[in-house]
Amino acid sequence: MKNPKTLATVLGTLVLLAVGFLFFRGPKPIIEIKAEKLADIGPFPLVNTYVTSVTVVVVLIVVALLATRKINLIPSGLQNAVEAVMEALYNICISTAGEKNGRRFFPVVMTIFTFIWIANWMALLPFFNAIGSVQKVDAHHFHEEAVVFSKSAGISLIKPNQKGIEFEVDETEVLAVQKRIDEATAAAAPAGTIAGLEHEKEETELKAHERAFALQLPKAAGLTLDLSSCHELEEAAKESCEEDIKLAHEEEAAAKLQEDGKQIGILIPYFRSMNTDINSPLSIAIWAMVFIEFWGITALGVFKYAGKFFVNPISNPIGTVVGLLEFVAEIARLISFTFRLFGNMLAGEILLLVMTFLVPFVVALPFYALETFVGIIQAFVFAMLTLVFGTLAVASHDDHGDEHEEHDDAPHGAPAAVAAL
């Protein structure tokens, strides 16, 4: 390694790795599958993924206005970039579905592509999952994981070296009560007896949460406890001894947290990747399927389109079975659409959170590059599947194999597109 630049790059990388690992590691990420609620607007719960989706729409509107405010015959700058993307996707639509149907499908396909693409890329911005409000965690508002935050009146953010807390609940007594409830239910016990057992279970769960919370207070407050007296004991006795010492310092730990202006809670981020909430991919998938069925019905007519799936079982029993299978496959596309996008984006977000927790800076960069690629690929796949399924929807069974007929709206590229995807 004689090149000074190479040596400097390697040394700089190692320094960044060391500094990031020692001083800039965040708390262990708390993974939530369900979107977090920010507020209630009447009966409507405002969740962070909805805020992100509205922000994406605003960004797309702003880009469209900026790109079209001064339209030139020879495009340049932002207008050139937008037209290049639109022209590329338009050509794909025409080559796949034909001139007539390609023009018809293009607005929907383009909307789906740009909406998912920009949403996926926006999720890589540094303030996503890092800035929000703190929801307090205690025995009554229990959460299995939490972070020690400095108290703030408004916005909070995940900072380096914040303590992560994990609560381990002893559910032995809770399970015992649940067993009694199951036995009472099986024996058809009176409703009052079962209700009493349910209340007892709630009280037992609360006590278990209180104990789990109290055991972690010394760690959250940064107290150093002397546990040496427990080291010589056997495993069960040692664990019990350590828990007794921790419980003995519960009030001291709570007082220290109060004095330091800290609290135990979880961050409810204001912005979260839209497609990590299953409702977002599902809603896009539903609208995609609505357009696909609309295109098929308006192109072929209600009865001819329905004839693809429902065939007279007497005259064509095999066609009936095939049609029913196609109908199930048509409905199953909703699941395919939804979980392909949801699974990939959720996995990517978890990967980024874990990598930035383990080794910030350098090691996380390749994964950000990977997610940049995955973000646009997932948008393209979703849009292309909508295009291909729309092309198949407008194609009649009578047209299959009729290669010599020249129709302006014939789906010439559909089989190739399906094979490619």
Q: What is the pLDDT of residue 383?
A: 95
CA distances from 419 to 94, 146, 207, 292, 384 (A): 17, 47, 59, 19, 12
**Phi, psi angle pair for 38, to nearest 5°:** -95, -40
Coil, strand or helix at 131: strand
**With contact defined as beta carbons under 8 Å apart, do 118 and 61 qualify?**
no
Q: What is the pLDDT of residue 402?
A: 47
Query: What is the Cα gyration radius of the chain?
Result: 29
Instruction: Give the angle 111-334-98 at the CA atoms, nearest 5°.
Output: 50
**Average pLDDT by consecutive 10-residue portion of the chain (421 residues)?**
72 70 69 88 90 95 90 82 92 92 94 95 88 87 88 71 85 92 91 92 93 92 88 87 91 90 89 92 94 92 85 80 87 91 92 80 82 94 94 73 44 44 46
Q: What is the pLDDT of residue 23?
A: 60
Q: How far is C-alpha 154 from the geometric centre of its chain's CA atoms?
A: 25
**Phi, psi angle pair for 149, to nearest 5°:** -110, 150
Alpha-carbon span 45 to 55, nearest angstrom: 17
Alpha-carbon span 303 to 325, nearest angstrom: 18
Q: What is the pLDDT of residue 281?
A: 94
Alpha-carbon span 414 to 96, nearest angstrom: 5
* DSSP per-residue letters across 402-418: -TT---TT--TTHHHHH
Q: What is the pLDDT of residue 296?
A: 92
The type of residue at 304 is: K
